[in-house]
Amino acid sequence: MKKYEKVIFVEKTGTCRAPMAEGILRDILVTDPIEVCSKGLVVLFPEPINQKAEAVLISNGINFEENYVSSQLQEEDITENTIIFAMEETYRNKIIEQFDNANEENTFVLSEYVGDELEIINPYGAPLQTYGLCYEYLRNTMKKLVKILEI
């Protein structure tokens, strides 16, 4: 399997599921030198991580970067050693359409890549409990991802 140097998680605004996935993967990969980041496809202005997403991360012992703000996915983010995980099929398709360096070899739907049938639910606007369920699903997904990527 190809050894990647950078993992990018992408969702619409880059404020909820993608930074949660980033935080969880970083927590699991304490010693691995791989770069992990999260980006948005539609970032009109930089926003902090969703408060409920951050609360769930903190309650699970993951302190996310203090000054995190969402940022737009850019062509230069994607190198030959980058793998991209979209939270939904529609985002994956948009990434491949919009970016020359993104293709079917390096851009995937996260849940499909690890063998899950359901996409990762977007908890935005839901009660805190839903964010907790999203966290648990993402944590299990990240464990599978680490095994598949051998990182």
Task: State pLDDT tens for residues 108-130.
Answer: 999 999 999 888 999 999 999 99
pTM listed for this prediction:
0.95
Residue 2 pLDDT: 74
Q: Which residues of the chain have pLDDT under 50?
A: none
The C-alpha atoms of residue 9 and residue 49 are separated, in whole angstroms, by 14
Residue 29 pLDDT: 86
Among the residues of the chain, which ranges form H helices?
Answer: 17-28, 51-59, 89-98, 110-113, 128-149
